[in-house]
């Protein structure tokens, strides 16, 4: 609880004496701080650099926004293959291809440990070393009094994993950090377990080594749906993560605009393990605090969290790399899930790769309404995932059901009227179609 009490103390200090970021000091990254992926080059010896690498997946999230009660990473991408399976298969392929031993670590929470263990234990005799450790568990506090809410350690509703910024403390306290260092590992590639684009990239690792950088952050260009992600900026001459809630309210729209901040944080991080050990030996890293308000019937509770990328200010010679969108394929909604499960992509050696047989290589835009928000509703409304290789745009609102082997091409807009239902029959092919009102299978 020492770590929690320190975090709470810092939070209360900031409440009593707020220190907002100076907007005039938030600048774009300099050419020394930012590199473009296309300008990187492959190492002369991939094997040599990979022998120094370990991979860690942030796997503490439940996916509650999708109605998932277990680990989101336990969702299937293809039949019998989950996010976790794909990650393990990626590392296994790298180890076999280069004759190296890149270990794979999952930072879980009390909410996700059992699901993760169930899936990973299938790979006990495979050429990939897998380690699991739980991140910390903090109590919610009551707004106003700031007293811890839990009456006991057994009430899961009032305890929570305090964000992926807990990585550094949990890695150190678990003994995993010392184990990696004693094993000769020097670099740690960290990413979210739901980002299927976050794979080992020898060019990024070599860029880190060549620049003697202790912390590398991958960013990617914004699109119209990326208006709330954190930005990596130059703040008073240093690389820093800035989140929307840290920005003065009068500049919120400026911050979200792609004109001024063209890229955002993917949370793909490359970190020097010795530098983590050095920083933790001095004391716990003081990361920017994220306040989350949890309303209840009787009161409002507060969760204090931190983000891993905000640790960049504690490391020397940080670098930022603007990477292709293919390295950022997160699944935050069922719309995202439909895309990665579709024939827009193929799975090869655990990697999600574009289907190059498609007519157009741009990624389809998919927007499913509230009726598809929960995973159970999503699975009930799609008998099978439609063929969308030639889809440009799909918008679905209302009470809509899709049959088996449906094909969607071009721009498809389906809007069921309130109180009405639309059924797309098995084998149906829709191309540049607008459907509204109500529709029975026999109508098509």
List the one residue out of 177, 297, 189, 287 whose CA is nearest residue 240. Answer: 287
| Residue 164 marked as a ligand binder | yes
| Residue 163 marked as a ligand binder | yes
List the one residue out of 112, 130, 155 whose CA is nearest residue 55. Answer: 130
| Residue 135 marked as a ligand binder | yes
| Residue 341 marked as a ligand binder | no
What DSSP line would sit under 342-389, residue for residue? STTEEEETTEEEE-TTSS--SPPEEEE-GGG-SHHHHHHHBSS--B-T
| Residue 57 marked as a ligand binder | no
What tokens does 1 get?
């609880």
C-alpha distances in angstroms, 308 versus 137, 240, 262, 289?
16, 11, 21, 11
Asked if residues 388 and 335 have their Cβ atoms less than 8 Å apart, the reply is: no
Which residue among 48, 277, 332, 420 is the active-site one?
Answer: 332
Asked if residues 72 and 194 have their Cβ atoms less than 8 Å apart, the reply is: yes
C-alpha distances in angstroms, 156 versus 87, 322, 330?
28, 39, 27
Active site residue 6: no
| Residue 72 marked as a ligand binder | yes
Asked if residues 374 and 66 have their Cβ atoms less than 8 Å apart, the reply is: yes
List the one residue out of 285, 107, 314, 309 whose CA is nearest residue 217. Answer: 309
Cα separation, 330 vs 190, in Å, equals 14
The SS3 call for residue 112 is: coil
Q: Name 273's Cβ contacts closer than 8 Å, sequence gap at least 6.
A: 54, 177, 180, 181, 185, 186, 187, 188
How many residues comprise the chain? 444
Rg of the chain taking only CA atoms, in angstroms? 23
> Which residues fall in the annotated binding site?
72, 135, 163-164, 194, 332
> Which residues fall in the annotated binding site for UTP?
72, 135, 163, 194, 332
> Which residues fall in the annotated binding site for substrate?
164
Q: List the catalytic residues.
A: 332
């Amino acid at each position: 609880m020492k770590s929690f009490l320190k975090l709470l103390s810092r939070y209360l200090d900031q409440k009593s004496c707020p220190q907002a970021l100076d907007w005039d000091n938030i600048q774009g990254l300099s050419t020394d701080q930012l590199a473009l992926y296309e300008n990187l080059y492959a190492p002369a010896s991939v094997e040599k650099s990979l022998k120094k690498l370990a991979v860690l997946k942030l796997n503490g999230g439940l996916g509650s926004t999708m109605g998932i009660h277990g680990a989101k990473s336990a969702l299937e991408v293809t039949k019998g293959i989950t996010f976790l399976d794909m990650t393990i298969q990626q590392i296994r392929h790298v180890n076999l291809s280069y004759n190296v031993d890149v270990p794979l670590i999952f930072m879980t929470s009390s909410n996700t440990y059992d699901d993760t263990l169930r899936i990973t234990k299938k790979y006990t005799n495979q050429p990939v070393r897998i380690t699991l450790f739980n991140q910390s568990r903090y109590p919610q506090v009551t707004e106003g009094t700031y007293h811890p809410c839990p009456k006991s350690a057994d009430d899961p509703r009032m305890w929570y994993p305090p964000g992926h910024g807990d990585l550094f403390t949990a890695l150190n306290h678990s003994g995993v950090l010392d184990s990696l260092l004693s094993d000769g590992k020097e670099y740690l590639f960290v990413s979210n377990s739901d980002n299927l684009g976050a794979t080992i990239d020898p060019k990024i690792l070599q860029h880190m080594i060549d620049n003697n950088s202790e912390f590398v952050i991958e960013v990617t260009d914004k699109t119209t749906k990326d208006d709330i992600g954190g930005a990596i900026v130059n703040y008073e001459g240093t690389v820093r993560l800035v989140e929307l809630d840290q920005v003065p309210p009068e500049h919120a729209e400026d911050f979200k605009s792609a004109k001024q901040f063209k890229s955002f944080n993917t949370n793909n991080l490359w970190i020097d393990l010795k530098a983590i050990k050095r920083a933790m030996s001095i004391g716990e890293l003081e990361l920017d605090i994220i306040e989350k308000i949890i309303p209840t019937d009787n009161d409002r509770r507060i969760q204090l969290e931190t983000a891993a990328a905000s640790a960049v200010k504690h490391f020397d010679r940080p670098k930022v790399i603007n990477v292709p969108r293919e390295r950022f394929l997160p699944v935050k909604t069922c719309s995202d899930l439909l895309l990665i499960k579709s024939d827009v992509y193929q799975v090869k050696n655990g990697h999600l790769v574009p289907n190059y047989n498609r007519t157009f290589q741009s990624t389809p835009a998919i927007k499913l309404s509230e009726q598809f928000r929960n995973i159970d509703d999503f699975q009930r409304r799609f008998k099978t995932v439609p063929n969308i290789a030639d889809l440009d745009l799909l918008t679905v609102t209302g009470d809509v059901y899709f049959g088996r082997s449906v094909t969607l091409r071009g721009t498809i807009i389906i809007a069921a009227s309130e109180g009405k239902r639309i059924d797309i029959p098995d084998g149906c092919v829709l191309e540049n179609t607008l459907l509204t009102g109500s529709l029975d299978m026999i109508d098509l």
